[in-house]
Structure 1
Amino acid sequence: MNKITSIFLLFSILITGNVSAQATAPVTPEFLQYENSKWVDSIMKTLSPDERIAQLIMVAAYSNRGDEHRKEILKLIKEQKIGGLIFFQGGPVRQVRLMNEYQAHSRVPLLGAIDAEWGLGMRLDTTISYPFQMALGAIQDESLIYDMGAEIARQIKRTGLHLNFAPVLDVNNNPNNPVINYRSFGEDKYNVTSKAIAYMRGMQDHQLLTTAKHFPGHGDTDTDSHYALPQINHSRARLDSLELYPFREVVKAGIGGVMVAHLDIPALDPTGVPSTLSKPIITQLLKEELGFQGLTVTDAMNMKGVTVGNEPGIVDKDAILAGNDLLEFTEDVPKAIQEIRKAINKGLISQAEIDRRCRKILAVKYWVGLNKFEPTSLINIIEELNTPRANHLNKKLARASITVLKNENNILPVKKLQGLRIASVSIGVEEQTNFQKTLSRYTRVSHFNLKNEGSAGDIHTLKNELGNFDLVIAGIHDDSKFPRNTLKISAEVQSFLKELVSEKNTIISLFKNPYVLDKLENIEKAAGLIVTYQDTQNYQELAAQLIFGGSGSSGKLPVSVGEKFKVGEGLVLEDGLRLSYAIPEDAGMDSGILNKRIDSLMQEAINAKAIPGGQVLVARNQKIVFHKAYGTQVYHDTIKVKKEDLYDLASVTKISASMAALMKLYDEDKFHPNQTLSNHLPSFRRSNKAEIPYRDILTHQARFQPWIPFWKNTKRKNGSYKWATIKNDSSARFPIRLTNTMYLHRNYPDKIVKEIRKSPLREEKKYVYSDFFFILAPRVVESRIDTDFSSYLKESFYEPLGATSLTFNPLAKFPKSRIVPTEDDYNFRHETIHGTVHDEGAIMMGGVSGHAGLFGNAFDLAKLLQMYLNKGEYGGVRYINEETIEEFTRRQFPDSENHRALGFDKPYYNEKGESRNTAQDASASSYGHTGFTGIMVWMDPEYDLLYIFLSNRVSPTRENSRLYRLNTRTQIHQVLYDAIKKFGE
């Protein structure tokens, strides 16, 4: 380019700048009002000319380096009087401790900065990383991004810092960009701008200064300026219309700072110098044309994009001459001050101009509160950086960004579960992922893993296995925490994926950079395609929840992916089909209350040997917000309780099996509370129970005896078993297994029924809890169906709900290690009860009864109980009519002392108005049940609240009543209501 052309270009820039200045009205950054404040004046008077230069210098500090580094920083503070520090890697406690020390040795408070584009987790351990900007670019609700900015401001300030080098305003229109890419909000300039302004305002509204970067636009390059000087060869018109657009708009919006990149942009400065050193770009374009008055900051002055061919110190001087106010990461501070002093002496820049920039730095310090500096407290800093609300926000951001690109035949969310054979394949990992574990919470899923470089043999074996499944869910995982545009999958695995999406009903979840989709042939043919933008626990769990309708999607693709998908694509899927997994704040509950108090109460019970261990699950608004396992399976062992463990649900079987079946039959006009046992069981037509309505029976006021110890009738007075009761070996006549050496006569269940039929009635009609009817319930149900009780429940409820662990006789389906033992039985079975029902009557009925015998884990029990809370609907399926749920769960005799519903328990109170069986604050509409083995479940429609407490308090003996005396279950129940009240304060 010749000299005349250069002059013409410079003249054009100046003219354009004048026109723009007249057409726009940039907002003056707030901190500038303090440039001439008394505090700034007082500091200026104390500074020598060289110290005023030093205020423009910010050096790099680390909290993960040794004492030698600490001494180097202290020396620069004491001897060179630098103005600030930018912190890089380390930890929050170490950083705060160092910053406090550095501040103590600085006569003028130091300005502290950090490069925290996605939060402190970008630099510091034990802190939160929010989604990368590309994921944020998919979010449609920008108030979430504002909230993130506000929260990041709080966290950065909590670590003693004042300036965040964010947000990134680069428009990433080059998929091969190695340095910006996922750090950009995307390729659409309007989306980039609106997201950046929301992020900026969230921070600056909460007194944290921000810097828009990397001016004038680093998005369209395939060179990383950390290692070389990228060149951008677009015309001025193109730069104006695209790259400069976001910067122009954030200046109008009042951004406090702008960071200048190391770029060679001939259309803006034909000399070839990096933009960081370019007066036409910084002074003339940014300050004069765009009207920016805030803090102009260099990108790191140690990057190859600016250091190649430029000496330390001299390059810093050139950056100041170009118009920068703040030098970031100066490598040679004494030399930089010396070179800037020489430039002043030569008349290249005036001392007055240096003073003006110094005042600007001091004004920033005043605005962020350094005029009243106090050391940062270390007390509770980790807890205060990782608050529940901060984690809640993180999850909300992730959920709002997930983008669904394909949903053929509405495969998402998966609705029908019964009979559906599902496999998951995690590609790029060798162990079961959180994605797969979360899938298993919804239904039975078989899991497989395939390495990125999986062999032909591995793939052949896997393909044969997948042939047995109706649906394949594949997760494509990342091997890096940074979602770069790279694909390290072998050609064989890529071919397998191509075949999979073409031939099988397949859902793909990509936990990688969306640009990778362009490198996967036929990926667009998947029936379902989900993009999460990065591979974190949050994203893995949310993607799995989305697949089964626990979570929804609203994200829109922020970039185009070749010819396959265009920017802005994304399907909206509603949530709420099934239970989701969230944090308490997501459901209006205080997690601090829940975690601390439930943990404390459970530990108290374990320490008192009331229970060896247990589980607590809490769901509100169809969100599981708390689920923890505590202690061990038994006292004398070290096997810790796992959330997947199955418990003997004891009398909770009544509402989880019997009442489910009876309510369904009621809907089908095959059962009615006004009918009697004689309507279903002919043998009861001439009994003393023939005319007693089920309404009285199910509310326990039928005058039935509480119980009969049926097992005692198997024995003679000398303790031996009667001939027609129990044998050591199984046979056609003795098929009912009690233990490996005890088999019950096939007719004994009929004998139990006969004993119930002949049992006398109590004289007074009042509430007396009895198991009798529920022992009969399977026969009542079976009188109106074409299958057995257990199969009916499985086919009608458990399988369609995905509640695959709810089962009778669990040893037939699950390993013993997954089943929690109950009592050491020294009276009847003479062994530890492990894997079979604790209740003697239930085991004598073959392990299948309506009063006890059901096993399950909290995950699956929650699905059934949530269906009740949903008035009979779950997963898009109507199981029981709404009116039926309301009828069966209401108090049947409100004008009497009987507090019961039909089969369900209800709250009841003593004469002082104190609850005797549930939380004091449980509503009158709530209902549930307890179990003898230490179980409690409770549902409260008024609060849409579900509570499950699982334990084996009968281990090693049923005589242990400490759980009752401690009142642990109801105390924990009250904690849930306290957490709701606390959140609302």
Structure 2
Amino acid sequence: MFRRLPVLAGATVLLFTTACGGGSAPRPGERTTQISDPADVDAQAAALLAEMSLEEKVGQLLVPVLSGTTAEENAEVIERYHPGGFIYFPENLETPEQVAAMSNGLQERATGTGAGIPLFLGVDEEQGLVSRLPFGARFPDAMALGAARDPELARELAAATAEQLAAVGINLDYAPVADVNVNADNPVIGIRSFSSDPELVGELAAAEVAAFQDGGVVAVAKHFPGHGDTDVDSHTGLPVIDKSRDEWERVDLPPFQRLVDAGVDMVMTAHVLMPQLGDAEEPATLSPHLITGVLREELGYDGVVTTDALNMEGVRQTHDDGEVAVRAVLAGADQLLMPPDVDLAYSAVLSAVEEGRISEERLDESVLRILRLKLRRGLFDAAPADAEQAAQVATQPEHHEAAQRVADASVTLLRNTNGVLPLARTATVHVLGVGAEEIGAALADLGLTVTDSLSGADAVVVGTDGARGDAEQQRLVARAQASGAPVVVVAQGTPYDLSVLPDVDAFLAVYSTMEVSRVAAARVVAGEVSPSGRLPVDIPGTELGFGDGLSY
């Protein structure tokens, strides 16, 4: 059964429904969109838009947080608001089979309700520190890729991640981070950034975007116009970046310009205030000058723009939550991510359209962008996720091997006094600090003797993560040094820890607390792997900077 819709340019769209009982909802994957010219995405999107009510159009702008672990727990939100998508968090994710079933159920309800538009089902799966899936390969953070300097490894990470997500019905990843981390005190970006070098960030981000989109997963470049030079976390406050337009163009802009030119599916805004870029009153998320003026008109971006999460304090400083939603749309955003009160955001935007504050033309622009992207990524004819296949993908050895390759290639040796590394396989080692259990186990697997006592150890390995701002970790390193044995620090966060640990005998940066990174550190300590990583950032207070690194 199908119904014929009028479309632009004389094309014909056929929306198929179930053949049994015209009013029954279609099963997952059964409802598809066809057109006489399948390449004419604009015509398909226009045809779909023509059939949508005002309420359904407003709904496409909303991307709420999911409830629970089943589609049924979100049925009322779908039927009432017709949202454009949802975002998964760890509390929604249990096993590959459960996530696949939930994704299928959500899509079935969405395509069987209202205008029948499938959902963006998204997640923050950057890998490393920001990773939501409780299954599948765990890769190191982006800065590890910056140290490895290999776009092919970035492609491997994104391709494996896309395969894992697609297998469970997740079709959008809020990644990669395109921010250039130039502030050692940045509390929210740090190792989530590839580097402090704009060209390297752009190269690696572009490699990830291509792999995500080739894998059928929407890629989202974040956080425009740049979150890499902040010392305030926009989750808890509003960062102010008081840099000139010239400096922004030199440092923050290049990765975003490269991704726009490469056709990135979606760009996420930042809740940051950049007064010298032309808006001293509103964060970028609410700034028509930055979204419509700079991103769209100057950079030429006509893809989907999503806000960062609207429950973050950085965007809630001066307006209530309903007004924030309206102002984000007026600024040029197409999707409203995680509004703290879905009904308030929906009602506020709907009222703004009905009252003429947001024109219907402006609303249609956003909905068309969303529909075009859903069509290009095949959401209208996507097969349902297969639970058995999802379980197999989650344990795929090739993905885990790729994660270890990234970790091994990233290890950066920044100090090696008197050639203390590599340690002899006959050495006795005491391991303490962050990641001690995993580092110690990996050293033991390589044949070294790991002892519980500082006394008599040939060397002490101390794991750190953020020691630059943690006096307790600094004291732990000092205690290890007091033993008289050579001390090897393995920094698993940013490499900036070295600035407060100037006298250690050896210093390794691995840029991640993932198990593969700790194994890679052990391999380098034991001489199984020669360190090949190079600093992707400068380390303040030292002579070490971008490109530095030792080898054996």
TM-score by length of 1: 0.49
| Total equivalences in the alignment | 506
Q: 2:100 is matched by which residue type in structure 1?
A: V
Q: 1:336 to 1:545 in 2, by over 3 A?
A: closer
Q: 2:99 is matched by which residue type in structure 1?
A: Q
CA contact (8 A) 1:109 1:373 kept: no
DSSP-derived class of the 1:404 partner: strand
**What does residue 99 of structure 2 align with?**
95
Q: 1:570 is matched by which residue type in structure 2?
A: G
Q: 1:361 to 1:120 in 2, by over 3 A?
A: farther
Q: Deviations over 1:549-585 (max 9, x none)?
A: 2222211111222232212111234xxxxxxxxxxxx
> Equivalent residues in 2 for 1:693-708 (5 A)?
none
Q: Distance in 1 between matches of 2:104 and 2:389?
A: 16
Q: 2:437 is matched by which residue type in structure 1?
A: T
CA contact (8 A) 1:146 1:198 kept: yes
CA contact (8 A) 2:278 2:289 kept: yes
DSSP-derived class of the 1:267 partner: helix
Q: Please state if 1:84 is matched with 2:85.
A: yes
Q: Please state if 1:363 is matched with 2:367.
A: no
Q: Distance in 1 between matches of 2:203 and 2:436?
A: 39
**What does residue 736 of structure 1 align with?**
none
Q: Deviations over 1:536-560 (max 9, x none)?
A: 3322322222233222221111122
The Cα shift of 1:53 comes to 1.8
CA contact (8 A) 1:84 1:112 kept: yes
Q: Distance in 2 between matches of 1:357 and 1:253?
A: 21
**What does residue 522 of structure 2 align with?**
544
Q: Distance in 2 between matches of 1:493 and 1:373?
A: 53
Q: Please state if 1:475 is matched with 2:462.
A: yes
Q: 2:438 is matched by which residue type in structure 1?
A: N
**Identical residues among aligned pairs (%):** 31
The Cα shift of 1:269 comes to 3.5
The Cα shift of 1:157 comes to 1.1
CA contact (8 A) 2:129 2:192 kept: no
Q: 1:391 to 1:426 in 2, by over 3 A?
A: same
> Equivalent residues in 2 for 1:508-519 (5 A)?
508-519=489-500
The Cα shift of 1:443 comes to 4.3
CA contact (8 A) 1:215 1:260 kept: yes
> Equivalent residues in 2 for 1:823-902 (5 A)?
none
Q: Please state if 1:374 is matched with 2:353.
A: no
CA contact (8 A) 1:155 1:385 kept: yes
Q: 1:410 to 1:494 in 2, by over 3 A?
A: closer
Q: Distance in 2 between matches of 1:484 and 1:412?
A: 22
Q: 1:413 to 1:288 in 2, by over 3 A?
A: same
Match of 2:398 among 375, 389, 396: 389
**What does residue 126 of structure 1 align with?**
135
Q: Deviations over 1:804-850 (max 9, x none)?
A: xxxxxxxxxxxxxxxxxxxxxxxxxxxxxxxxxxxxxxxxxxxxxxx
Match of 1:425 among 427, 430, 438: 430
DSSP-derived class of the 1:94 partner: helix
**What does residue 478 of structure 2 align with?**
495
Q: Distance in 2 between matches of 1:329 and 1:437?
A: 41
Match of 2:108 among 104, 107, 110: 104
Q: Distance in 2 between matches of 1:562 and 1:547?
A: 25
Match of 1:59 among 59, 64, 71: 64
Q: 1:45 to 1:56 in 2, by over 3 A?
A: same
**What does residue 37 of structure 1 align with?**
43
CA contact (8 A) 2:128 2:514 kept: no
Match of 2:410 among 401, 408, 412: 401
Q: Deviations over 1:355-384 (max 9, x none)?
A: 222121111111221221332121242231
The Cα shift of 1:310 comes to 2.0
**What does residue 667 of structure 1 align with?**
none
CA contact (8 A) 2:180 2:227 kept: yes
The Cα shift of 1:144 comes to 0.9
Q: Distance in 2 between matches of 1:536 and 1:384?
A: 20
The Cα shift of 1:393 comes to 0.5
Choose 1 or 2 for highest CA Rg: 1
Match of 1:447 among 426, 451, 459: 451
DSSP-derived class of the 1:112 partner: strand
> Equivalent residues in 2 for 1:252-401 (5 A)?
252-401=261-410
Q: Deviations over 1:962-981 (max 9, x none)?
A: xxxxxxxxxxxxxxxxxxxx
CA contact (8 A) 1:182 1:484 kept: no
Q: Distance in 2 between matches of 1:393 and 1:280?
A: 42
Q: Please state if 1:434 is matched with 2:415.
A: no
DSSP-derived class of the 1:234 partner: coil
Q: 1:71 to 1:440 in 2, by over 3 A?
A: closer
DSSP-derived class of the 2:241 partner: coil
Q: 2:87 is matched by which residue type in structure 1?
A: I
Q: Please state if 1:166 is matched with 2:180.
A: no
The Cα shift of 1:206 comes to 2.1
CA contact (8 A) 1:34 1:366 kept: no
Q: Distance in 1 between matches of 2:320 and 2:164?
A: 37
**What does residue 75 of structure 1 align with?**
76
Q: Please state if 1:557 is matched with 2:544.
A: no
**What does residue 32 of structure 2 align with?**
none
Q: 2:181 is matched by which residue type in structure 1?
A: N
Does 389-398 or 331-340 show the bigger shift? 331-340
CA contact (8 A) 1:262 1:275 kept: yes
Q: 1:235 is matched by which residue type in structure 2?
A: S
Q: Deviations over 1:244-297 (max 9, x none)?
A: 221112212221211001111111243421210100010001000111111111
Q: Distance in 1 between matches of 2:128 and 2:539?
A: 27
Aligned alpha-carbon RMSD (Å): 2.6
CA contact (8 A) 1:121 1:128 kept: no
Q: 1:47 to 1:485 in 2, by over 3 A?
A: farther
**What does residue 571 of structure 1 align with?**
550
Q: 1:432 to 1:509 in 2, by over 3 A?
A: closer
Q: Distance in 2 between matches of 1:49 and 1:154?
A: 35
**What does residue 503 of structure 2 align with?**
522
DSSP-derived class of the 1:176 partner: coil
Q: Distance in 2 between matches of 1:207 and 1:228?
A: 35
DSSP-derived class of the 1:203 partner: helix
Q: 1:71 to 1:332 in 2, by over 3 A?
A: farther
DSSP-derived class of the 2:148 partner: coil
DSSP-derived class of the 1:60 partner: coil
DSSP-derived class of the 1:36 partner: helix
DSSP-derived class of the 2:231 partner: coil
Match of 1:535 among 498, 502, 513: 513
Q: Distance in 2 between matches of 1:334 and 1:443?
A: 60
CA contact (8 A) 2:464 2:492 kept: yes
Q: Deviations over 1:727-781 (max 9, x none)?
A: xxxxxxxxxxxxxxxxxxxxxxxxxxxxxxxxxxxxxxxxxxxxxxxxxxxxxxx
Which residues of structure 2 form unaligned runs of 5+?
1-37, 111-115
Match of 2:149 among 107, 132, 140: 140
CA contact (8 A) 1:207 1:367 kept: no
TM-score by length of 2: 0.85
Q: Distance in 2 between matches of 1:264 and 1:120?
A: 25
CA contact (8 A) 1:34 1:367 kept: no
Q: Deviations over 1:149-195 (max 9, x none)?
A: 11111111111121111111111111111111121112121221111
CA contact (8 A) 1:140 1:554 kept: no
Q: Please state if 1:240 is matched with 2:244.
A: no
Match of 1:203 among 181, 188, 212: 212
CA contact (8 A) 1:134 1:185 kept: yes
DSSP-derived class of the 1:156 partner: helix
**What does residue 630 of structure 1 align with?**
none
**What does residue 915 of structure 1 align with?**
none
Q: Distance in 1 between matches of 2:549 and 2:477?
A: 24
Q: 1:268 to 1:346 in 2, by over 3 A?
A: farther
Does 290-299 or 311-320 show the bigger shift? 311-320
CA contact (8 A) 2:490 2:507 kept: yes
Q: Distance in 1 between matches of 2:39 and 2:123?
A: 24
